[in-house]
Amino acid sequence: MKKALITGITGQDGAYLAELLLAKGYEVHGIKRRSSLINTGRIDHIYEDLHKLGVKFILHYGDLSDSTNIIRIVQEVQPDEIYNLGAMSHVKVSFDEPEYTAQVDGIGTLRILEAVRLLGLTEKTKIYQASTSELYGLVQAVPQSETTPFYPRSPYAVAKLYGYWITVNYREAYNMFAVNGILFNHESPLRGETFVTRKITRAVSQIALGQEQKLFLGNLDAQRDWGHAKDYVEAMWLILQQDKPEDFVIATGITTRVRDFVKMAFNEVGIELSFEGEGVDEKGKVVACNDERYQLPIGSVVVEVDPKYFRPTEVDLLIGDPTKSQTVLGWKPKYDLPALVKDMMDSDMKLFSNK
Ligand code: NDP
Ligand code: GDR
């Protein structure tokens, strides 16, 4: 039976990946941080009582900022595969916590690689590093592929740039199976509430149900290549099953503006929006309400721009080139954007209908 160790197991991707690996027969170990309140909401359904025989899902307390703890856990688990998903993953917050972000997202990656090297596991343990389309930052060329130059635009992306290159360096220097998945944005009903898609689907649900009046957003013009997290964790696993250690872009190849994601989410509950104005004056107004369950007066303003959500430096356009992952990995996503929006809206409508 293969053993996998996942950092960031309590996050969106960690939860889906753990489910996938358990279904494939792995013994799954996860590193979770100590918190004052229980933070395992996304994985409670797969948690197993440690007192049972043959437990296949085991959590360890730990933190990517603590080398000795990482070494101890890797030594105890002796994993065949490590998925390094743990990170301070919010781009806007990284401007407020740049040093911590560098420690966890940059040096944290080094700590994982060094643990494997120091423990003599370089032949046994394969390492997946959660790299990101944020590395491309200021647009150099589109669509962005494995060979497009990087130009990071946030402390998060700069820290991840270190994580990317230290992974490549350990692969080349020590002949390790250490690889980067350069994943474009992926979302789901489990997405953190402050990322833009989930913020939108939660607010639209609350507005439709009469629990909130307005959604405040930042840059509506940003363009993102959005996929479903369930498809993307499948790609992570495939990347580690290859004979040759290589880096891969995982993306849909289609880009959409934040403004259009907002419209799609409102459309799911029969509400049609139109946007007027530009920049901070921009407003989303209801122009039709085609579902009598959700009574919203025509002309009411339900979306407004609040400059507090603007970033000091923004990534304007992301559109990935999935050619290599499609041809080499045979990876093909099951969800397109309308199916993703529907999944998220269905889930949030259910959540808020029960409140
Ligand atoms: P989440 O923010 O949902 O999850 C991040 C996870 O990292 C959580 O389990 C969190 O723990 C954990 N974590 C945070 N800080 C530390 C730390 N100091 N030590 C150990 N663990 C820590 O992110 P996603 O699941 O969306 O993303 C997974 C990874 O993929 C991240 O590295 C992210 O940067 C990267 N990525 C994500 C993309 C996306 O679109 N989702 C795209 C490309 C890359 P806790 O629950 O306690 O906060
Ligand atoms: P991103 O995701 O920065 O791409 O990073 P996020 O959803 O935070 O932002 C996407 C775009 O939407 C714009 N935006 C807003 N964003 C947020 N969070 N809140 C708002 O109110 C808002 N209004 C507009 C942003 O400016 C941006 O252009 C995500 C994270 O998961 C990273 O960890 C990961 O590496 C990348 O995706 C790929």
Q: Is 122 in the pocket of ligand 1 (CB under 6 A)?
A: no
pTM of the model: 0.98
**Closest-approaching ligand to the CA atom of 133:** 2
Using most ligand atoms within 8 A of CB, pick from 12, 195, 255, 262 the residue to mutate for ligand 2.
Answer: 195
Residue 11 CA to ligand 1 center (angstroms) comes to 5
Q: Does residue 151 surpass a pLDDT of 90?
A: yes
| Tokens read off for 298 | 């025509």
Q: Is 64 in the pocket of ligand 1 (CB under 6 A)?
A: yes
Q: Is 130 in the pocket of ligand 1 (CB under 6 A)?
A: yes
| Tokens read off for 9 | 């197991």
Which residues participate in catalysis according to the annotation? 132, 134, 156
**Average pLDDT of the segment spanning 225-248:** 98
Q: Does residue 141 surpass a pLDDT of 80?
A: yes
Q: How confident is the model at residue 251 (pLDDT cuts 50, 70, 90)?
A: very high
Using most ligand atoms within 8 A of CB, pick from 32, 89, 224 the residue to mutate for ligand 1.
Answer: 89
Sequence-distant (≥ 6) Cβ neighbours of residue 37 within 8 angstroms:
none
Residue pLDDT, tens place only, 173-195: 999 999 999 999 999 999 999 99
User: Phi, psi at residue 14, to the nearest 5°?
Assistant: -55, -40
Residue 282 near residue 215, CB atoms below 8 Å: no
Q: Does residue 51 surpass a pLDDT of 90?
A: no
| Tokens read off for 23 | 């279904």
Helix (H) or strand (E) holding 61: strand 57-61
Taking alpha carbons only, the member of 243, 258, 221 closest to residue 341 is 258
d(CA 25, CA 31): 19
Residue found by looking up tokens 């946030």 in the block = 154
ipTM of the complex: 0.99
Q: What percent of the chain has pLDDT over 90?
A: 96
Instruction: Write down the pLDDT at residue 4.
Output: 98
State which ligand 2 atom lies nearest to the alpha carbon of 310. 26
Q: What percent of the chain has pLDDT over 70?
A: 100
d(CA 318, CA 152): 12
Q: Is the dihedral of CA 104, 101, 37, 84 positive or negative?
A: negative
Take atom 35 of ligand 2 and give the residue whose Cα is closest.
132
